[in-house]
Amino acid sequence: MNPDLEQTPESEDNVSYEAYRQAGGLLDMGHYKQALNVLEGGENRVFRSSTEAQAKNMATLAGLELSPKEESLYCFLREQWPLSDEESRENRAKTEGAYPPRRIDDKRLMADVLLLTQNAKALGVFKEKYPNISPSSPK
């Protein structure tokens, strides 16, 4: 975050979300906030073994080992249900060019997870392995 920006509690989320989007993040604001909640330990759930295997396989093929938080976040976002209709309409209006996780392909979603966890080294390695990942569109 830019320390020169005067931040209030209601603007801090918008500033960090804007920085995330400028760094290439694709999630809409509602799902971005849910992702942060997961990273802070606010979600504990059991995921499908196929989703966990998918996350591990993508990482392994790129020569990476995911942290438990990265794996959980990927699984959470991949298995995420859509927000309510009202929240979805509000998110679309506020975040043009941002998408719900279900509209982001697997590799781009993994890149987003690495961005959200601020794992720049792993993100660089992942993007090098999968150079066709573009932050400008979900598919």
Residues 26-71: tens digit of each pLDDT = 998 888 998 998 888 866 778 889 999 999 999 999 999 999 999 9
- Give the model's confidence band at 98: pLDDT under 50 very low, under 70 low, under 90 confident, else very high: confident
Helices H, strands E: what count in the chain? Answer: 7, 0
Q: How far apart are the first and last CA of the chain?
A: 29
Q: Which DSSP letter does residue 5 get?
A: S
Q: What was the pLDDT predicted at 61?
A: 95
- Give the model's confidence band at 3: pLDDT under 50 very low, under 70 low, under 90 confident, else very high: very low
Cβ pair 55, 122 in contact under 8 A: no
Task: Classify residue 41 as left (phi > 0), alpha (psi -120 to 50) or beta.
Answer: left
